[in-house]
Structure 1
Amino acid sequence: MDTLSRYAAYADRIEAVSPSYAAWARSLDPALVALLDEVAEQQRQPELFFAVARRLGADPSDPGALRAIGREARPALVTALASATVQANDPRRLGPVVPLFAALAERASRPLGLVDAGGAAGLCSIPDRVTLDHRVAERDGLVRLHTAADDPSIRLVVAASGAVPAPARAPIRVGARVLLDPNPIDLSADGAFDRLVEAVPPEALDRIALMREAARATLAVPPVRIRGTLPGDLDRALDALPDDVEPVVLTTGTLVYVPGAERQRFVDRVRERGVHWIALERTGILRGVAGTLPDDVDAADPDAFATASIDGTAVAVSDPFGTRVRWFRDPNL
């Protein structure tokens, strides 16, 4: 898919949520396409481009602002885009993975030691501080799968179908948290939260409010921040965990930004270290995980955009943000 087609598809997908981002995506002209062609393919995604443009002063309420900043600040835009990472760090992605943490915590004799790989500010480093409800079509009301161990916390409601897991029998225990990211965000720093939401469409007020709640919960149990990338710095992050925890690596929308060969090196290294791995990653990008999917899963289906897996085995698929989940394996088994 070429750049114009990619942005047109993004505009169609995002318009109901963010008319301003849809207008920006449709504003691409030959000069902006040429600008994007100057950076690596994985750096051309709309959310990343728009976040960098906003950081440099483009106003998303102005449909012409993207073209203007492309003309007026082209060198700065290309330089920033070449090294930028998407750091929207959406805590809704905890919805499909909290039951996996609960299943792992129930089997473990020690508290979990969490390495949040590519975790930006660590808003997904708090599975223990999530109260999770499933709305199941075949049942009346909500099914509570996990109750946050402590406050501050967040509450997530997921529309669920299929083999919905049983509720957790005890709260998740997390004994240590390490955040590994090329540009980890310290939420206690001035302006850090504003930087974090640069990639979020400005109309997404509910999403920003949830991120703010997750930021409060994260600040209550701040992770150790390590600047680094996958797979090269995985060992350093794991070695930062204390000895009295059960190590588990979490990736949520991270591995799509890791080139294919390096991605497999990460998977291989997780196995070599003998640690657990919980993931919510784009369906199909992990060959081993994809091989465990049911035959009827279609990666082109928006509700199968992402695959939730534990230790390399797929257990569910979801929409990009983890708000609609189809379960097909019980993570407790």
Structure 2
Amino acid sequence: MDTRTRYAAFAERIASVSPSYAAWARSVDDALVGLLDEVPETKRQPELVFAVARRLGADPSDPGSLRVLGREARPTFVAALASATVQANDPRRLGPVVPLFAALAARVDRPLGLVDAGAAAGLCSIPDRVTLDHRVLGAPLLDARADRAVVRPSPSGAPGRDVRQEAQTMTVRVHTAVAEPSVHLTVDVSGAVPAPTSTPISIGARVALDPNPIDIAEPGAFDRLVEAVPPEATDRTALMREAARATLAAPPVRLRGTLPGDLDRALDALPDGVEPVVLTTGTLVYVPGADRQRFVDRVRDRGVHWIALERTGILSGVAATLPADVDPADPDAFATASLDGVAMAVSDPFGVRVRWLRH
């Protein structure tokens, strides 16, 4: 996908959420395309470019300010992009992966040792501190372990119904945070929806690996973190504040490093007695293709678990496990959630609409 097409697609995807970012994306002209072509392809992501532009003083409320920055501060803009590692660190991405952590926790007999690769401030390093509700859309929820319907009270408080007889929309508590402060997420789900779990996610150690890890406890750190968040997304910023409080209560060990070269160092930082699991959420799109495959190969060589929520299609092995009816161009299949290299679900870019593919 060329730069202009990428930004046009981003504008269409983001328009309902952020008219200002959609206008910026549509403002990309030949001069901006030429500027972006001067930086590595992994540095041309719209979210990254817009975050750097805002840091350099561009005003997202002015649709022309991105072009002005590119014209008047081109060398500074190019240099800043070349070294940028900004990530939005959106805790909503935990919605599709918390059930995978819960499934893993239920089948191992020791706490998990989490390596959050591309962690930024570690706001996705807290799957155990997420209370997750599934809003099941128009289909019965089945308990995969027993092949039976799960009966839950209706939202009105009426007695539970046998959902084998009547498909309905209902909200089901899938996981309860192990401690406070925590984050509450509600995800619209369909397909082979996982059953609720009674096994809490137990995490015995957390390591946050990032080229430029952010210590959320430092003054101004949160403001830096939300640079990539569209200005209209005040609810998203509020959720990030909740996640920041939870992260401060269970802080990871921060390591400066990149993938795949520093993966071993991060895994080796985990203590004995934990079950290692690597988490990537929107990280691998920033890793060049050859290094991306080396990362996958190294995870396999180390024999550790891997939970991912990455753009659909960028991981060939994961893509090979997708059903034939999954269209990567579908906004609701933008990302694929996978466990140990097997596609388990697809979702929209924000992880709030999830189609489960298999139990």
Bin of the TM-score, shorter chain as denominator length: over 0.9
Letter in 1 for 2:178: A
* In the alignment, structure 1 residue 144 sits paired with structure 2 residue 173: yes
Counterpart in the other structure of 2:83: 83
- Counting only pairs closer than 5 Å after superposition, residues 130-279 of structure 1 correspond to structure 2 as 130-137=130-137, 138=139, 139-279=168-308
Deviation at 1:121, TM superposition (A): 0.6
Q: CA deviation at 1:5?
A: 2.7
Q: Do 2:216 and 2:222's aligned partners in 1 also have CA atoms closer than 8 Å?
A: yes
Map residues 46-61 of structure 1 onto 2, 5 A cutoff. 46-61=46-61
The answer to whether the 8 A contact 2:13-2:331 is kept is no
Unaligned regions of 5+ residues in structure 2, if any?
A: 140-167
Contact 2:86 2:225 in 1 (8 A): no
Counterparts of 2:317 and 2:260, CA distance in 1: 17
CA deviations 1:275-310 (Å, max 9, x no partner) are 110011111111111111112111111111111111
Three-state SS of the structure 2 residue aligned to 1:251 is strand
Are the counterparts in 1 of residues 135 and 172 from structure 2 also a CA contact under 8 Å? yes
- For 2:181 and 2:339, the matched residues in 1 are separated by 27
Q: Secondary structure at the match of 1:25?
A: helix
Q: Indicate whether 1:105 and 2:105 are aligned.
A: yes
Q: Per the alignment, in what secondary structure is the counterpart of residue 277 of structure 2?
A: strand
C-alpha displacement of 1:61: 1.1
Q: Once the two structures are superposed, what CA deviation does each residue of 1:199-218 show, in whole Å capped at 9, x if it has no partner?
A: 11000111111011001100
Structure 1, gaps ≥5 residues long = none
CA distance, structure 2, for counterparts of residue 2 and residue 234 of structure 1 = 30
- Supply the distance in 2 between the matched residues of 1:31 and 1:289 (Cα, whole angstroms): 36
Q: Kindly, what percent of the aligned residue pairs are identical?
A: 80
1:121 and 2:121 are equivalent in the alignment? yes
Q: What is the rounded CA distance, in whole Å, between the counterparts of 2:6 and 2:295 in structure 1?
A: 28
Give the alignment's TM-score, normalised by structure 1.
0.97
Structure 1 residues 53-112: Cα deviation after superposition (integer angstroms, max 9, x where no partner): 100111111122112222222211110101112310110010010001001111111111
Report deviation, 1:140.
4.0
Pairing 1:65–2:65 present: yes
- The alignment's TM-score, normalised by the length of structure 2, stands at 0.90
By how many angstroms is 1:141 displaced? 2.5
Q: 2:333 aligns with which of 294, 301, 304?
A: 304
Query: What are the Cα deviations for residues 220-251 of structure 1, in whole angstroms up to 9, with x where unaligned?
Result: 00100000011100000000000011110000
Return the alpha-carbon distance in structure 2 between the equivalents of residues 103 and 95 of structure 1. Answer: 14
Aligned counterpart, 1:29: 29
Q: For the aligned residues, what is the CA RMSD?
A: 1.1
